[in-house]
Structure 1
Amino acid sequence: MTNENVVRREAVVSGTPERAFAVFTERFDAIKPREHNLLGAPIVETVLEPHAGGRIVDRAEDGSECAWARILDYDPPSRIVFTWDIGPTWQLEQDPDHASEVEIRFVADGPDRTRVELEHRHLDRHGPGWESVRDGVADEQGWPVYLARYAELVEAA
């Protein structure tokens, strides 16, 4: 569901919230598509630093790095919240006041299932052209591809 400045998506996966949270945070490198790249060289890994104050960083073949998110809240196994520091021109946003937020909640949905609720909010903070960020993350090649890759990893684990 998409409304003005919020994009929401969800997936239901097998296992407990603890397992679902662990797969998301520990295997984020396998979730993020390599072609989602702001660097000038191919990405070799994406690292999610598992703590408040951490970052999500892409590292390229040539040694360059792109820290495109800051971890605001890391609360296993309930939720993780991070900034989206990528602006309407799909370049790194340097001003933290112009970043949107992504919250992912892991909610028990029965004895051995977890509902993963993703909310990308405050998209209008990106300023003029913010709608392109909303449309990009809501597109099938945005959050839906991340959640599909994530669900495949959970089911394979």
Structure 2
Amino acid sequence: MSEPLRFAFDVACSVEHAFRVWTAGIGSWWPADHSVSGEPGLTVVLEPGEDGRIFERTSDGAEHQWGEITIWEPPHHLGYRWYLRADRADATDVSIRFLSSESGTRVEIEHDGWERLGTRGGAWRERNHQGWTTLLPHYRDAVAGGSS
């Protein structure tokens, strides 16, 4: 069984702002190269609430679904089933916590469920590790852009 991917870092803003940037503001920081279409100018949407969708919409209106919200506890906890560039049946689980810290907010991410992918789990885990590593700086930059 593969271990979950875990990331933790601090951002200098309120918990509310950190959560809002991740959710309502996701379209402002999510890079096109971390999408299905890779199209510049695409719109990324995270619909609030349990059962909300995470998807991209291209300039011609095509939608590509990436995941579904499973935990919606603003501003402290967000969870979703994740299947960007994969079949929905192969979804993994992402849990993100936003915790008050001395410097503002501690963001803790756990990405799990690799065992559902069988022998492909290790390769998908590594691919997602690389994806998180290149994605998170975009989020941190967006948070720093407005620390309400």
TM superposition score normalised by structure 1 = 0.84
- Give the share of equivalent positions with the same residue, in percent: 32
Q: What is the aligned partner in structure 2 of residue 106 from structure 1? A: 98
CA distance 1:11–1:40, change in 2 (3 Å): closer
Counterpart of 1:33 in structure 2 is 31
Amino acid of the residue matched to residue 15 of structure 1?
C
CA distance in 2, matches of 1:114, 1:94: 32
Per the alignment, residue 124 of structure 1 pairs with 115
- Unpaired stretches in structure 2, ≥5 consecutive residues: none
2:86 aligns to what? Answer: 92
- The alpha carbon displacement at 1:131 in A equals 1.3
Flag the 1:41–1:118 CA change in 2: closer, same or farther, 3 A: same
Gaps of 5+ in 1: none
Is structure 2 residue 129 aligned with structure 1 residue 138?
Answer: yes
Equivalent-residue separation in structure 1 for 2:4 and 2:41 (angstroms): 28
Greater helix content:
2
Change (3 A) 1:42 1:31: closer
Give 1:19 shift.
1.5
Separation (CA, whole Å) in 1 of partners of 2:94 and 2:24: 17
State the distance in 2 between where 1:19 and 1:135 align: 30
Query: How many residues are paired up?
Result: 146
Aligned to 1:152: 141
The match for 1:71 is: 69
Runs of 4+ in 1 over 4 A off after TM superposition: 40-43
Partner of 2:53: 55
- For the residues of structure 1 that align with 2:91 and 2:11, how far apart are their CA atoms? 29
The 2-side partners of 1:77 and 1:94 are apart by 27
Over 3 Å counting, the alpha-carbon distance change for 1:132 and 1:10 in structure 2 is same
2:77 and 2:134 map into 1 onto residues whose CA distance is: 20
After TM superposition, the structure 1 stretch with the greater mean CA deviation from structure 2, 35-44 or 130-139, is: 35-44
Give the match for residue 13 of structure 1. 11
How far did residue 33 of structure 1 move? 1.4
Alpha-carbon distance in structure 2 between the residues aligned to 1:155 and 1:37 = 23
How far does residue 124 in structure 1 lie from its aligned partner after superposition?
1.8
Deviation at 1:83? 0.7
Shift of the 41–151 alpha-carbon distance from structure 1 to 2, 3 Å rule, reads: closer
